[in-house]
Amino acid sequence: MTIEWRYTTRRDVGVLSLAGYLGADAVDRFTGAVGWALARGTGPVILDMTGLLGWSAGGQISVAQAARRLAENGRRLELAAIPADGSLVPDAGSPPVIVHCDLAAALAAHGAQDAVRQWSTDDWPDPRHPAAPALA
């Protein structure tokens, strides 16, 4: 299983939402999504893990690498709703990462308004459309 992602810009903050499992086979797709966020937004990036079923050690490392990549570009990574099966353990070279209990708390911390623009992978699960493919 891999991941699906959706990137939403809000005023002065971006939200990168993940669905699926962030394992070794999903790292390249995740890295691409982070690049998408870098190219299309400003301010901090909230990594919304509400739809994430879990993550491997390699997935956790890719999140730490994303935090470094964003910091090198003057942006910060924040996490929302990390999976219950582990927490991000940054190494000494990692920038600090703020962790929020859920996406609502992260958005409230930034006073984020409604979405401005949104992009996603083709199979992003959309509960408003019953024909949307379900993650297995």
* Extents of the domains making up the chain: 3-120
The answer to whether residue 17 scores a pLDDT higher than 60 is yes
Please state the rounded mean pLDDT for residues 85-90.
Answer: 63
Confidence category of residue 136, pLDDT binned at 50, 70, 90: very low
pLDDT in tens, 30-63: 999 999 999 998 899 999 999 999 999 899 999 9
Q: Is 51 helix (H, G, I), strand (E, B) or coil?
A: strand
Beta strands, E only, 1-136: 3-10, 13-22, 45-55, 77-80, 98-100, 117-120
Q: What is the CATH number of domain 3-120?
A: 3.30.750.24
Confidence category of residue 111, pLDDT binned at 50, 70, 90: confident
